[in-house]
Amino acid sequence: MEMRSLKTFLCVADTLSFSRSGAQLHMSVSAVSRTIARLEQELGQPLLERDNRNVRLTSAGREFREYAHAALADWQQVCRRLGQQGELAGEVSLYCSVTASYSVLSPVLETFRATHPGVEIMLHTGDQADGIGRVLAGQDDVAVSGRPGQLSPRLDFLPLLASPLLFLAPVSQCAVSDQVRAGGARAEHLDWSRLPLIVPERGVTKEILDAWFIERGIRPKIYAQVAGHEAIVAMVGLGLGVGIAPQIVVETSGLAGKVSALAFEEGLPALEIGLCSLRQRLANPLVKSLWEVAEQTY
């Protein structure tokens, strides 16, 4: 079983798309499809369920994904020992939000590339709320994420920085900013039953926000649940409601002049941001090295 075939399968398992996998791997769609078909023939059962619209992993596909990750990691270690004279070589799959890619990871990756030029970082971006789930599912080696209240015993978490969580209101004059001013511009005095609130649809910050409201017996009016803090900042800036986002996102969004932070006596706890990885993945020298560089950088 060739390592290239395993890489192709893992890419399809990650993207669930033959066309996107072909673009990432610089292969034709038909070549990707033939590679998967050969693997399925060799194993004697389907790894993927396909129809006209969707691609899904079968139970065998999910099991084989774990094998493929482990096999590639073992292969990279052999290459390092026999062919690279001790220099690390291979790939590390890393997931983060767009904001985290330059506000959190930039100094880490700069140092890591200089220290380990033979290691390629396969960076995937999206909603930070998906990071922990992707790591637990074996889709990525490492993810940048907020620290959850309950951390799976399968995971290790490396704290890098803390960012205040802010309640945000629009600066422009609109119905929402009028409601905020009527409440004295303090979170405790706002009429949350009437004020439209934009919240994350899932993830650590949603858990923090839900707990904050429950502790105070507040039932807010939810205007929208969206993926990603960047989208929340943009919607608040447009005057669609109030919302929450880490300060680090506001500062790097380019919209800091369109939103303002609400003052309150008992605010939201700061969001602890760091790296998470499966403990078993940290046995991989490539992943461990990235982890150690991040720890030294911060």
Q: Tell me the pLDDT tens digit for each residue of 183-204.
A: 665 556 788 889 999 999 989 9
Number of domains in the chain: 3
Same domain, 34 and 66: yes
* Bridge partner residues of 30 (DSSP): none
Banded pLDDT at 283 (limits 50, 70, 90): confident
Is residue 216's pLDDT more than 90?
no
Is residue 1's pLDDT more than 70?
no
Of 208 and 51, the one with more pLDDT? 208
So what's the pLDDT on residue 83?
A: 52
Q: Tell me the pLDDT tens digit for each residue of 37-64.
A: 889 888 898 999 887 778 889 999 899 8
Q: Give the whole-angstrom CA distance, residue 188 versus residue 263.
A: 9
CATH number, position 4: 1.10.10.10
Q: Tell me the pLDDT tens digit for each residue of 217-269.
A: 889 999 999 988 999 999 999 999 999 999 999 998 889 999 999 887 778 88
Same domain, 120 and 138: yes
Same domain, 286 and 230: no
So what's the pLDDT on residue 253?
A: 87
Q: Give the whole-angstrom CA distance, residue 161 versus residue 168.
A: 21
Domain final residue pick, 40, 64, 85: 85
So what's the pLDDT on residue 149?
A: 86
So what's the pLDDT on residue 200?
A: 93
Q: Tell me the pLDDT tens digit for each residue of 168-181.
A: 999 999 999 888 88
So what's the pLDDT on residue 22?
A: 82
CATH number, position 146: 3.40.190.10
Q: Percent helix, strand and coil across the chain, each rounded to 5?
A: 50, 25, 30
The fraction of the chain above a pLDDT of 70, given in percent, is 94
> Who's near 79: CB < 8 A, 6+ residues apart?
89, 90
Q: By residue range, what is the domain housing residue 131?
A: 87-160+272-298
259 within 8 A of 157, measured Cβ to Cβ: no
Phi, psi of 160 (to 5 degrees): -115, -45
Banded pLDDT at 118 (limits 50, 70, 90): confident
So what's the pLDDT on residue 223?
A: 93
Same domain, 55 and 18: yes
For range 6-20, the mean pLDDT: 87
Same domain, 148 and 286: yes
Q: Tell me the pLDDT tens digit for each residue of 58-102.
A: 999 899 888 888 888 777 666 666 555 556 778 899 999 988 988
Residue position matching structure tokens 């507040």: 218
Can you point out the beta strands (E) in the chain? 48-50, 55-57, 90-96, 119-125, 142-146, 155-163, 165-170, 196-200, 221-226, 242-246, 259-261, 271-278
For range 207-214, the mean pLDDT: 92
Q: Give the whole-angstrom CA distance, residue 81 versus residue 235.
A: 51
